Structure formats: structure tokens, C-alpha cells
């Protein structure tokens, strides 16, 4: 038994004829066939309309995977069963089956369990897209003033690619609208797909169309005049799918005056660079003349100019820089292979922060690498400031007061703030409250971006702290090694002095290595640095544990939800003569402004402490370098002294051996050979094991060596 829609049983057996199944023994009815199950469901779907998934020319219902890993949606024709509609339905199935593009919903073979006719026409099996359609996304209160920039660019890329594919295959959609664009989550990325080709038309080479089909609100102007049309009707409709009709738009003032604009209205969620190019693109797409719409065709490439401009928009590499001192976002279009130094020069001209004082941090607290191009801060596939940001810090400042003034109110919102009790028509309030919701959401997002900048500063501080810890450990380790060497050297010198004093009467009359000549190293500096670093580590840990190191925007998020719910209650259709005030919405605005003011003050106070700790680390690093260099120099001095000491000992040993050899030779010549079981120089000792006094010649040789060695030692020290 397979599970159908909403858990209803779907039999896996062959289709049974449409008859009442016989009841087996026990009184329970036999399982219905797939044909009967789905006939019943599709019939019920027709009565439920859009709630059942009404799509263009038919009803679609989701179907769980059958023998495959893909989900299917089964679409049945809902049109009146005349010959024209049957032909149109079959034509849609024919077109769908031959298309294969990631941004056009894909058709599949109807599973055998469901391969039957409904109203004497076949079913259509399509890929099931679970994220709803574009209309649902546009109607969301969060998008009441437009989609986010990343969503706009993604939509432009997907729908433009799908329409280009259809036109390359000589197909005009003719009914492109938000309801006919669905969203699907593929590997964590939202993909837009074009559906419902029920009104699509194949174009023969050079053919024109004159039939009047489509959705009235999205028809191109020439369709109203019953004029011939071409693929450019789809260019007109892409605009409506991109946004609610506010771009290159006409609107009614609160006074009732209708006004027009060639620019995108505020508020919106696009950066200045995207706004400029999008306005140009929309003007191409909304040209009243169908011959000029889309910019015509490029004679060199044979491609519509609107697609070329779209590719330029999508190919822009824009870096969005959040200035943490002013909380303003600076958007810059990067030139090919632009360097970080060039980017810093442009930032300096825009913000006044010198290139030498700039610190540009990525989200994870990593500084931009000056050896790499500036495009390192633009993540592939992410082209908007709401998804990726570079944070600008002024290294000449450690105290950040922060911009505590909230973003400015739009004229409409300011109107109700000045008089929240004024009664306005519901139709006007919808627009005003939409901008109010956008304002509240904007305040929360402003804080979120600044908090992300503070987090980047914390991660950068931790990186500096890790480097400081590493250098401190190296310093302490080198200091301990030097202490061990000095201790060994002192002990060696003490023993040498003791032995020299015992042998002074036998030729070594002066100690060469004096205590005053030993290398001295002051360990007090190391201890002081160590204490400073430990105290700094404690301060950093306290900053990490501080509640201000975590998001404090819970109250703002609650206020955002309250504003959205208030807007939802107003949004349902009401009589045109209905009026209401804005008292509740203005209260939410005031509370959000107050909440943002408090969290920003705490954020910048915490940020100042972070930057203060970072500056302390920056000041300590060169001191540790100096200490390491001193340790290295002292270590080299110890090793040089040890080497000279060893050379002296070996020279004295050589003299002793030479003297012993000479005495042995003289004795042998007078008394004959004498057997010796030890070194020859030991024969010069008396019975008590004391060296015999040197001759005057040997004594002079030793004094010369001692003088030369003293000169060498004094020169080395």
C-alpha cells in the first residue's frame, strides 16, 4: 500500500474499471483502484479551487514519490471540454514534455498507477515545487515594500534564464505572472521555475500572434489593441513578476493626486548601484512600443539587448562596506582585477578615513589580503548587501560613540507619527503601514548588521590574542632555556675558578674568566610582560562572557512580529469607506526606536572595549619582539663565552701534554725507557698528585697564551 496525498491510501495494483468494489468477507470494502482514488480527488479539487492547487488551465495536486526519489504534482484539465480547450491542454502537455531547463518546471511520464484519462484528456505529471509561488512571497508582510536585493537578483537570473530558453525554442509563454513562477529548494538554494504553459504558443520562423490570451493585469499594451505580437510580450510580463507595480510606476498621493515617476520608489531594499541599472533595464522591458521593447536585437550577437543588460547586472561585482563609525553602507562596483589598495583609496574618498587607518574585516574577522585582488570579499553566488558585508574600522579610533540617531522616516510614516489618531481610509493605511512595517524591520536589520560587525571585531581580537599567546609562549620558553644555560655556565665558571686557584702555584697565576665578565640578563622585563598578557587575557575572557557579546535584539524582533500581525489584520479586503487610526502602529514604531537606541549604546560600548583590548595587543607585540631579540643576543653571548672557555681548557691541556712529553724524553735519554701505564703528562706529578712547577720557558709560553686569550675575551665581550 502506497501513501497518497495527505496520507490517503494509494493502491499499487493495476487500474480497475469504474465500478463499486465488492466487499470481501468480514464486511470491509476492498481497496479502491488508483484510477478511482485519483478521479475522486481530482473531482474534489475542482470544488476547492485555488486551495487545491489551481494552476492556469488545470488543478494540480502533490503526489509523493512513486518508485522514484522525486516528488510529482499531477495536473488535470479544468477547462470546459470543448475541442479548442482539449487541443490547448494537449498542446501544453506536448510543450512541457519537450522542455528541459532548470528554470522551467519539468514534465515527467505519468506513473502507470495513474495513467488514465480524466474528462477524455490525459493527466500531466510535473515536478512538485514545495515552496509555493512568487505571489505568495510578494504578499508576505516582510516583503510589503519589495524583496531583498539577493532575492531580486536571484529572481532576475532564474526567470530571465527560463524565458531566454523558451524564446530560443521559439515559444512565447503569454501568461507570465507571479502565480506562474514557483519556488523550489534545491540543495539549500531557492530556484525559481516557470510553470503553466497552457497559453504558450510555438512561433514559426517570422510568425506573429494575434490571439487575446493571458491574465488581464499582466497583458502587454498591444494585446488590448488586438495588434499582432511577438515574444516581447514576455518582456513586459517579466517586470510584473519582478516586483509589485511600484517600479517605474504611477501612484496616488494622499491628496488624491496621481503622480508618475521614472525612478524606483522609496523605501526599497536595493543598493544604489543596482537601482541605477535596474531602472534602465525596466525602462527597456516596459517600452510601450513592442518593436523597441527589450531594446531590440543586437545585430552582432542576435540576442535581445535586455538579456545582455541583464547579464551585465548579474555580472556586477559589488562590494558592500559597512562603516562602523557611521553605520552607513557604501556600495562600490569593483573593476576587473582591482587591488585592495585601489579599493581603500576609493573608500577614503567616500568616507574620509585614510587608507592607512582602514581595517577591512570579513564576516569571520579576517582582514583583506593586500596581495590578492579586491574581489576576495565578493563571495561567488552572493551579490547583495543583505547576504555579504565588509566591515570598515578606523584604526586611529578605539572609542566608538556610534550613531544613535535612527534611520529617517518616510513622508507617509512621518505623517501618522505626527498625528497617530488621524482617521485615514483603509486603502491608504495599507500603503502607510506597509512602509511602517518596512521601517521597523529596517531598524532591526540595522542593529543586526552592526552586531555582525561587532562579532567580526571580536573574532579579529581572538585572532590577535592567539598570535599574542603564541609569541608569549615562545618568549617564556626562550627565557627559560636561557636561564638554564646561564645556570650551567655559572656553575662551570665556579668550578673552573676553584680549580684554577688550586693550580696557581704551578703556572696559572691569574684567572682568565672573571665573574664580572659573565653575560647578564634581566628577567624582570619578561615577568612584567607576562603579567600584562595574563591580565589582558582575563579581560578578553570577560568580554567574551559579557551578555553584550550576544544578540540583544529579542525585544526588537518581538516588536517586528507585532507590526507584522497588525499589518495582517488590516490587510484583508475592507469596504472602501472604512477608516482607522494608527495609534497601535505608532506605539510599535516608538518602542522600536527606543529599543534600538538602547541596544546600540551597549553595542558600541562593548565594541570600544574590544578595540581597546586589540590596541593593547598591538602595543605589546613589538615589546615581545624586543624581549625575544634580547634573549637571542644573550643566548649567543653565553654560547660564545662557553666556546672560548672550552678552547682555553683544551689549550692548557695541550701545554700539559707537551710539557709531559718533553720531560719524558729528557728522562728517557738519561735513565733509559720507563714504562708508564697512563698519559705521559701525569708522570710530571709528585707522589701527592700535584703538578711540578713549570720551567721558566714553559711559564713564559703560558703567560703569552693567557694574555692573548684575555684580549680575545675582552674583544668578544
Catalytically active residues, by annotation = 175
Work out the widest C-alpha separation in the chain, in whole angstroms: 146
Contacts of residue 512, Cβ cutoff 8 Å, sequence gap at least 6: 648, 706, 709, 710, 713
Are the C-beta atoms of residues 59 and 78 closer than 8 Å to each other? yes
* CA distances from residue 551 to 323, 392, 453 in whole angstroms, order as listed: 20, 20, 12
d(CA 467, CA 469): 5
Can you tell me which residue has the cell 520608489?
265
d(CA 610, CA 621): 17
Task: List the grid coordinates of 423.
Answer: 482617521
Pairing of strands 390-394, 318-323: parallel
Residue 102 neighbours by CB distance under 10 Å: 15
Contacts of residue 167, Cβ cutoff 8 Å, sequence gap at least 6: 231, 234, 304
Contacts of residue 405, Cβ cutoff 8 Å, sequence gap at least 6: none
Can you tell me which residue has the cell 509561488?
133
**What are phi and psi for residue 78, nearest 5 degrees?**
-110, -5
Can you tell me which residue has the cell 700535584?
690
d(CA 493, CA 513): 7
How many alpha carbons fall within 13 Å on the CB side of residue 411?
A: 4
d(CA 202, CA 94): 11
Contacts of residue 629, Cβ cutoff 8 Å, sequence gap at least 6: none
Cα angle for residues 162, 164, 169 (degrees, 5° grid)? 100
Are the C-beta atoms of residues 53 and 129 closer than 8 Å to each other? no
Can you tell me which residue has the cell 551578555?
547
* CA distances from residue 318 to 195, 345, 382, 426, 618 in whole angstroms, order as listed: 32, 16, 10, 40, 32
Nearest Cα residue to 361 out of 330, 324, 332 = 324
Q: What is the Cα 128 distance to its own chain's centre?
A: 30
d(CA 517, CA 496): 14
Going through 381-430 in order, the beta strands assigned E by DSSP cover 390-394, 424-425
Can you tell me which residue has the cell 495582517?
568
Number of DSSP helices (H) and strands (E) in the chain, helices first? 15, 21
Nearest Cα residue to 610 out of 457, 463, 465 = 457
d(CA 274, CA 597): 30
Give the 3-state secondary structure of residue 521.
Answer: coil
Are the C-beta atoms of residues 88 and 146 closer than 8 Å to each other? no
d(CA 689, CA 647): 25
DSSP for 566-618 reads: HHHHH-S---TT-EE--HHHHHHHHHHHHHHHHHHHHHHHHHHHHHHHHHHHH
Beta bridge partners of 329: 322
Are the C-beta atoms of residues 203 and 171 closer than 8 Å to each other? yes
Residue 364 neighbours by CB distance under 10 Å: 10
Task: List the grid coordinates of 16.
Answer: 480497475
Are the C-beta atoms of residues 210 and 178 closer than 8 Å to each other? no
How would you classify residue 132: left for phi > 0, otherwise alpha for psi between -120 and 50, otherwise beta? left
Amino acid at each position: 500500500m502506497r501513501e497518497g496525498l495527505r496520507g490517503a491510501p494509494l493502491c499499487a495494483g493495476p487500474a480497475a474499471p469504474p465500478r463499486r468494489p465488492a466487499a470481501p468477507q468480514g464486511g470491509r470494502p476492498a481497496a479502491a483502484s488508483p484510477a478511482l482514488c485519483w478521479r475522486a480527488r481530482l473531482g474534489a479539487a475542482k470544488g476547492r479551487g485555488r486551495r487545491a492547487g489551481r494552476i492556469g488551465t488545470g488543478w494540480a495536486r502533490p503526489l509523493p514519490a512513486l518508485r522514484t526519489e522525486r516528488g510529482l504534482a499531477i495536473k488535470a484539465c479544468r477547462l470546459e471540454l470543448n475541442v479548442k480547450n482539449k487541443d490547448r491542454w494537449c498542446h501544453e502537455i506536448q510543450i512541457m514534455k519537450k522542455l528541459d531547463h532548470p528554470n522551467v518546471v519539468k514534465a515527467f511520464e505519468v506513473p502507470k498507477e495513474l495513467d488514465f484519462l480524466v474528462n477524455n484528456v490525459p493527466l500531466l505529471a510535473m515536478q512538485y515545487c514545495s515552496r509555493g509561488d512568487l505571489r505568495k512571497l510578494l504578499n508576505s508582510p516582510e516583503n510589503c515594500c519589495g524583496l531583498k536585493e539577493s532575492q531580486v537578483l536571484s529572481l532576475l537570473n532564474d526567470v530571465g534564464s527560463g524565458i531566454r530558453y523558451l524564446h530560443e525554442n521559439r515559444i512565447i509563454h503569454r501568461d507570465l505572472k507571479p502565480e506562474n513562477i514557483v519556488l523550489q529548494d534545491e540543495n539549500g538554494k531557492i530556484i525559481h521555475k516557470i510553470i503553466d504553459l497552457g497559453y504558450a504558443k510555438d512561433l514559426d520562423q517570422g510568425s506573429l500572434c494575434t490571439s487575446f490570451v493571458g491574465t488581464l493585469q499582466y497583458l502587454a499594451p498591444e494585446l488590448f489593441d488586438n495588434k499582432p505580437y511577438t515574444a516581447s510580450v514576455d518582456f513586459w510580463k517579466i517586470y510584473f513578476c519582478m516586483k509589485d507595480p511600484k517600479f517605474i510606476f504611477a501612484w496616488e498621493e494622499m491628496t488624491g493626486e496621481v503622480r508618475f515617476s521614472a525612478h524606483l520608489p522609496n523605501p526599497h531594499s536595493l543598493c544604489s548601484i543596482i537601482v541605477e541599472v535596474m531602472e534602465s533595464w525596466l525602462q527597456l522591458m516596459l517600452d510601450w512600443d513592442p518593436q523597441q521593447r527589450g531594446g531590440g536585437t543586437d545585430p552582432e550577437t542576435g540576442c535581445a539587448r535586455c538579456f545582455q543588460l541583464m547579464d551585465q547586472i548579474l555580472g556586477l561585482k559589488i562590494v558592500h562596506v559597512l562603516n562602523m563609525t557611521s553605520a552607513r553602507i557604501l556600495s562600490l562596483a569593483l573593476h576587473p582585477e582591482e587591488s585592495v589598495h585601489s579599493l581603500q583609496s576609493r573608500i577614503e574618498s567616500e568616507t574620509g578615513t585614510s587608507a592607512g587607518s582602514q581595517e577591512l574585516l570579513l564576516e569571520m574577522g579576517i582582514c583583506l589580503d593586500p596581495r590578492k585582488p579586491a574581489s576576495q570579499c565578493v563571495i561567488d553566488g552572493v551579490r547583495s548587501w543583505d547576504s555579504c558585508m565588509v566591515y570598515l574600522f578606523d584604526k586611529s579610533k578605539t572609542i566608538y560613540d556610534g550613531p544613535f540617531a535612527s534611520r529617517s522616516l518616510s513622508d507617509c510614516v512621518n505623517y501618522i507619527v505626527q498625528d497617530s489618531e488621524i482617521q485615514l481610509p483603509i486603502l491608504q493605511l495599507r500603503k502607510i503601514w506597509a512602509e511602517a512595517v518596512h521601517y521597523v524591520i529596517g531598524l532591526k536589520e540595522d542593529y543586526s548588521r552592526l552586531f555582525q560587525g561587532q562579532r567580526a571585531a571580536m573574532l579579529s581580537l581572538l585572532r590577535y590574542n592567539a598570535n599574542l599567546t603564541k609569541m608569549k609562549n615562545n618568549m617564556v620558553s626562550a627565557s627559560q632555556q636561557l636561564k638554564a644555560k646561564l645556570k650551567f655556565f655559572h656553575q662551570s665558571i665556579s668550578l673552573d675558578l676553584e680549580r684554577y686557584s688550586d693550580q696557581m702555584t704551578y703556572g696559572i697565576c691569574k684567572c682568565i674568566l672573571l665573574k664580572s665578565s659573565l653575560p647578564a640578563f634581566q628577567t624582570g622585563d619578561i615577568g612584567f610582560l607576562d603579567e600584562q598578557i595574563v591580565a589582558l587575557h582575563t579581560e578578553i575572557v570577560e568580554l567574551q562572557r559579557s551578555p553584550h557579546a550576544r544578540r540583544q535584539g529579542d525585544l526588537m524582533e518581538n516588536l517586528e512580529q507585532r507590526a507584522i500581525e497588525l499589518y495582517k489584520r488590516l490587510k484583508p479586503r475592507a469596504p472602501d469607506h472604512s477608516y482607522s487610526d494608527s495609534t497601535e502602529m505608532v506605539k510599535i514604531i516608538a518602542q522600536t526606536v527606543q529599543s534600538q537606541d538602547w541596544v546600540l549604546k551597549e553595542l558600541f560600548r562593548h565594541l570600544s572595549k574590544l578595540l581597546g583590548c586589540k590596541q593593547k595587543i598591538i602595543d605589546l607585540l613589538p615589546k615581545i619582539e624586543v624581549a625575544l631579540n634580547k634573549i637571542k643576543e644573550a643566548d649567543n653571548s653565553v654560547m660564545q663565552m662557553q666556546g672560548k672557555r672550552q678552547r682555553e681548557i683544551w689549550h692548557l691541556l695541550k701545554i700539559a701534554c707537551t710539557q709531559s712529553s718533553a720531560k719524558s724524553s729528557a728522562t728517557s735519554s738519561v735513565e733509559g725507557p720507563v714504562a708508564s701505564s697512563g698519559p705521559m703528562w701525569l708522570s710530571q706529578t709528585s707522589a701527592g698528585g700535584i703538578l711540578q712547577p713549570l720551567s721558566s720557558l714553559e711559564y713564559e709560553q703560558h703567560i703569552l697564551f693567557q694574555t692573548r686569550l684575555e684580549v680575545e675575551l675582552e674583544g668578544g665581550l
